[in-house]
Amino acid sequence: MSSTHPSLSSAEQNKQLLLRWFDEVWNQGRRETVFELFAPDGVLHEGGQQIRGPEEFCRSIYDQFLAQFSEFHFTPLLVLSEGDLAAIHWSAEFRHTETSKPLTLTGTTVVRIANGRFVEGWQNWDAAGLAAQLSA
């Protein structure tokens, strides 16, 4: 799928980029999509930390998750877009690799898009719920 479709409104194009991210990066495990969609000078506000660019995203989040979990399946629950912002409320099912325990998680991601790439993002997910599932 190309990153933009001329027949779609910019709001719809932005929604499609966000859906593409979750499908390709997490469901399909396509690391190269991180580098296609996350601008080199982009920043993700993830809890109390700021992650800058695709390299740091891979090192700080993506690789760490893949080292601990597998069989990711992200499902979009709600996708909205206005202006240069797009937001997705999602659920995820995956497996803790060490124990094979199935896990579920919900979260919300908001991104600012410029020239078909994410230049800023804010993400919040249920870390306490994940920790409770792992300790149960």
* pLDDT tens per residue across span 29-57: 999 999 999 999 999 999 889 999 999 99
Domain definitions of the chain by residue range: 10-34+43-135
Low-confidence ranges of the chain (pLDDT < 50): 1-2
Quote the pLDDT of residue 134.
Answer: 94
Quote the pLDDT of residue 1.
Answer: 46
15-33: burial string, b at 16+ Cβ within 10 Å, e else: bbbbbbbbbbbbeeeeeeb
Quote the pLDDT of residue 33.
Answer: 98
Amino acid occupying residue 102: P
Strand 102-114 versus strand 49-52 pairing type: unpaired
* 85 neighbors 18 (Cβ within 8 angstroms): no
Two tokens at 13?
């194009």
- 10-34+43-135 placed in CATH 3.40.1160.10: no
